Structure 1
């Protein structure tokens, strides 16, 4: 009897190890449904991003979505008017296709807004002084379809970060140097159409902070050190911010190698 018990207990660690190993090895297409937490109705056009694989997708009319994932990956759900949510992928989510992800509606308290139109006099010299000035400059390159925000002094691409590289204590080097894994995601993010479409409609930087594991203040510091204007930082959508950070990082790598 004692020998039998010893044999049984000797297999327990191996069984636990095999179970844990199977938990972490499950990978493939994950299908689930996104619903409204209050009504249980399906939510269409919810953006879902796998933060680990940097892949995105959108829920259909029935709230269903399919995305490449593995156990322990983190999915990020974002939808206008609802609280963004992160969900850790489990083994059960692969076993059962009736998994529901519930998003909670946001309650906004609208404050009184006073619209103050510009008081124009009809005299050009006076009216020009009363209009706000946008200090953001853009430069374009012949043959390229888009223009680029270059900051208040509109420097060249090399000049824009050369000062930062020459200063070893600069925050730009500290951020890029300490977060190489996050910065390597930039190219993947730019190649995924679903992620780009999501970022083009966002202005709150929340999705970017989740993808890059940066704080909002870090994003502002990066753009400031890359000489982007305050006007651009305040008004650009998240896709434009992504392109700006990516451009600055590519220039940083080139100059840092030198």
Structure 2
């Protein structure tokens, strides 16, 4: 190999090494089913600290192999190691799980011995009374999520004897009107839609991801990013909810081609 070619190769290797060893500013975004504002982002190695904004966005200084910690009162702490891909794109996307505080175990009533006959004789219990027993109507459908209940309360339409709303014979409650004006109802609708999309995406991941990635190879560290890329599609719920696995895989395949094309364009 001519000397000049060796010099070029050596220069390229040296510049790549120096670029990865340097401290760069990384732009990132945090995703979560709960609030994404004011999440603590800490890089102890560089003594750099910041918090996320209302959209979950942040910027922090880091170099290759630094460990960045994400924490808040409502999230489980998460540690992300800065790898070559993060350094190359100077960007990251982090999904945080909600913190669930478990209560200490409490024993209520009599302690069972494990002997079936003794326990049956020692336990005094009555069958619970439900609405069928007392002859009143009751709800037997799917239990709403917390966000769905909040949305229902925020946009409540209260019927009144003399009130009217466009001839419907009802009036919107004061709270519902305030929620509509302040944008809270719109925010809750977006949250319900986001939770539906998130639950659908995780269901698809559990059922189909392993088979899909066998025929559509993708590095392990990019698979969740790809699935969120699919979930961000405006037609994701329409194309995947209550659809056959075949139709869902067709949708994933089309998004896979878009995702790989975007990655290729970003690298170039």
TM-score using structure 1 length: 0.34
- Structure with the greater relative contact order (CA < 8 A, sep ≥ 6): 1 or 2? 1
- Of structures 1 and 2, the larger Rg is shown by 2
